[in-house]
Chains A and B, each alone.
Chain A
Amino acid sequence: DAGITQSPRHKVTETGTPVTLRCHQTENHRYMYWYRQDPGHGLRLIHYSYGVKDTDKGEVSDGYSVSRSKTEDFLLTLESATSSQTSVYFCAISELGEQYFGPGTRLTVT
C-alpha cells in the first residue's frame, strides 16, 4: 500500500460537535482527495486539493471544509456534525491519474 495513513480510524461523536479527520502521506503526491462511502452510493468526492493551500469542492461538499498547509497533510473538518454525515471516509492521493486510497475512517454521528 502507498504511504497513506488516516486518523482516527474510528470515531463516535454527537450531533453538533466539530470533527476533524486527518490524512497523511509520505509519497509527496500533488493531489489529495476526501471521499465518503455509503451503501448504494459508491465513492463520492467531498473535496480535493491540487497543491498546498489549493483546494476545491467535490460533488458532496456541503457541511465539510478542508485545509492543506503542507504537502503531506490534508484535513477534513465537519464544523457541526449531523447524523447524515455518518459514513466511512477515505482519503486518496495521486500524481499522474492513478489514485491510491488510505485505510478509511469510520465516523458515527449519534
Chain B
Amino acid sequence: GENVEQHPSTLSVQEGDSAVIKCTYSDSASNYFPWYKQELGKRPQLIIDIRSNVGEKKDQRIAVTLNKTAKHFSLHITETQPEDSAVYFCAVPPLRETSGSRLTFGEGTQLTVNP
C-alpha cells in the first residue's frame, strides 16, 4: 500500500511559537492531502486539506503546503496555543486508489504546547 511517513512523532513548543509537521508519501499520483487533529479521548477531526492543483492553503493560524515534486506536504501552525495540543495525522490516498475515497494515515504527531 501507500507508504506514508510522518515526522516528528512528538513535538513540544512554547505558546506563541510555530509548529511544523511533515509527511512524505510514495505514490506520485496522489492528489488529495488532508490533516486531522485528535484531542485526547475524542474522534479525529479534519482541520485542513489540499488538492494537488494548489501549492498552499491557509485557514487562520493553520496552513498546509504541498511539494508534489518532492512528494511531501506539511502542516504549519502559527502562534500556537495550549488548545492546539493534540495528535495530528496526515493522510494520503493509497496506491492505485481509483474511487478517491480511501486514505492511508500517518502514525501521528503528538504536539504539546507549553504555556
Task: Report whether A41 and B107 are in contact in the complex, using a CB–CB cutoff of 8 Å.
Answer: yes
The segment from A11-19, A61-69, A72-80, A100-108 that touches chain B is A100-108
Task: Report whether B108 and A103 are in contact in the complex, using a CB–CB cutoff of 8 Å.
Answer: no
Task: Report whether A97 and B100 are in contact in the complex, using a CB–CB cutoff of 8 Å.
Answer: yes
Secondary structure at the B interface, as helix, strand, loop or mixed, is loop
Question: What is the total number of residues of chain A having a CB less than 8 Å from a CB of chain B?
Answer: 25
Task: Report whether B46 and A103 are in contact in the complex, using a CB–CB cutoff of 8 Å.
Answer: no
Can you show 5 pairs from A to B with CB atoms below 8 A apart? A50-B101, A58-B102, A99-B34, A99-B46, A103-B43
Is A34 an interface position by the 8 A CB rule?
Answer: no
Task: Report whether B106 and A42 are in contact in the complex, using a CB–CB cutoff of 8 Å.
Answer: yes
Task: Report whether B46 and A98 are in contact in the complex, using a CB–CB cutoff of 8 Å.
Answer: yes
Q: Give the contacting residue for A98; candidates B49, B99, B108; CB below 8 A.
A: B49
Chain A proximity of B105: nearest CB distance (Å):
4
Residues of A within 8 A of B (CB): 1, 30-31, 33, 40-45, 48, 50, 58-59, 90, 94, 96-104
Q: Give the contacting residue for A42; candidates B1, B32, B45, B105; CB below 8 A.
A: B105
- In the assembled complex, the Cα of A98 lies from the Cα of B50 at a distance in Å of 11
Chain A proximity of B5: nearest CB distance (Å):
11
- In the assembled complex, the Cα of A102 lies from the Cα of B43 at a distance in Å of 7
Task: Report whether A40 and B43 are in contact in the complex, using a CB–CB cutoff of 8 Å.
Answer: no
Chain A proximity of B25: nearest CB distance (Å):
14
Most central of B42, B43, B49, B107 by chain A CB within 10 Å? B43
- Chain A residue contacts of B44, Cβ below 8 A: 43, 90, 101
Task: Report whether A31 and B101 are in contact in the complex, using a CB–CB cutoff of 8 Å.
Answer: yes
Is B89 an interface position by the 8 A CB rule?
Answer: yes
Is B20 an interface position by the 8 A CB rule?
Answer: no
- In the assembled complex, the Cα of A58 lies from the Cα of B101 at a distance in Å of 13
Most central of A41, A98, A99, A100 by chain B CB within 10 Å? A99
